[in-house]
Structure 1
């Protein structure tokens, strides 16, 4: 009987910890969802797809900065942000500190996802691979091995394979719970 109570108690603690973790992450996501939805609607991109990218890229931390220099919620490289900000939004005084602003970061990131989606005919695997490994790398892969659709396992970089798989799984989870 004692062992049963101990096991039951441990199970309860685990469940409570898991629920707390989920609620904490949901609360972080909900904080930025109005911004995500605003730009997703504007650029005709699935907001759950953008939410999945943000979850994997920065875990909803607007102060995130990668070892490679990607910044903010959507982990955007400053040269990419500067190009998009100038070309699509007329920003002439871009500086990388702007990428720490959630609204600006998401706006630039969603616009970039839309650009990639248009380039790759909405092929999510190629969009995500480009977002992670760089557009030039993906275009090179396509030239070297011209196949219509890349499965994450067909991608040359392990990091990119993992990235595409992780976001695809996150997107599936969000879609599942969004139906309910």
Structure 2
């Protein structure tokens, strides 16, 4: 079920700006939500069935908790699904962040605040993003903060990446480069908004 960005949340966020709060962290978070919403509004078609503000809030909130650049998460979503929350890959990955059901179940077992019992829950954009960010955070920790390895593992899978690393095999570049190109595109849109 889609978590709504209630008027109460909007009021709290707005009051941070209106009161000229000294907490630059919260102001920065609010600005990121607005920036990401503007990018989403620019990149998505107007027939989407979810709120871009809800998505923006979730991306920033979950990314902040995991100490991940929210624009990188936005780049992963653009690369994975082009913002189609109903997307299903040939391998059965589902939703905005293209999560495999087995990966979702594994991630939900690692996190007290994520509970998933059925694959159809992965079509919910908010649930999908929470699981995707948690999984990406897991990969970052697994590869000691190496963003390149985490991005490649997100697409290739950690088992295949580990095999390539152990055997000194060439790492695939296509997916990683596409995420970087999308990151640059999002930066350009954000800076021109």
TM-score range, shorter chain: 0.7 to 0.9
- Is residue 138 from structure 1 mapped to residue 157 from structure 2 by the alignment? no
- Is residue 167 from structure 1 mapped to residue 179 from structure 2 by the alignment? yes
- Is residue 101 from structure 1 mapped to residue 128 from structure 2 by the alignment? no
Match of 1:37 in 2: 60
Runs of 5+ unmatched residues, structure 2: 1-40
Q: Normalising by the residue count of structure 2, what TM-score does the alignment of the two structures yield? A: 0.68
CA distance in 1, matches of 2:104, 2:42: 31
Match of 1:23 in 2: 42
Distance change (3 Å), C-alpha of 1:90 and 1:171:
closer
Contact 2:104 2:116 in 1 (8 A): no
Larger radius of gyration: 1
Q: Normalising by the residue count of structure 1, what TM-score does the alignment of the two structures yield? A: 0.73
Distance change (3 Å), C-alpha of 1:44 and 1:93:
closer
Match of 1:75 in 2: 98
Contact 2:114 2:130 in 1 (8 A): no
CA distance in 1, matches of 2:116, 2:126: 17
Q: Secondary structure at the match of 1:89?
A: coil
Choose from 119, 122, 125 the match for 2:145: 122
Which structure has the higher relative contact order (CA within 8 Å, separation 6+)?
A: 2
**Larger helix percent:** 1
| Alignment length (residue pairs) | 148
Q: How far 1:77 sits from its partner (Å)?
A: 0.5
Q: How far 1:43 sits from its partner (Å)?
A: 1.1
Q: How far 1:65 sits from its partner (Å)?
A: 0.6
Q: How far 1:163 sits from its partner (Å)?
A: 1.0
Distance change (3 Å), C-alpha of 1:176 and 1:74:
same
- Is residue 54 from structure 1 mapped to residue 77 from structure 2 by the alignment? yes
1:133-174 superposed Cα distances (whole Å, 9 cap, x missing partner): 11101111111118xxxxxxx41xxxx421111001111232
Q: Secondary structure at the match of 2:44?
A: helix
- Is residue 88 from structure 1 mapped to residue 111 from structure 2 by the alignment? yes
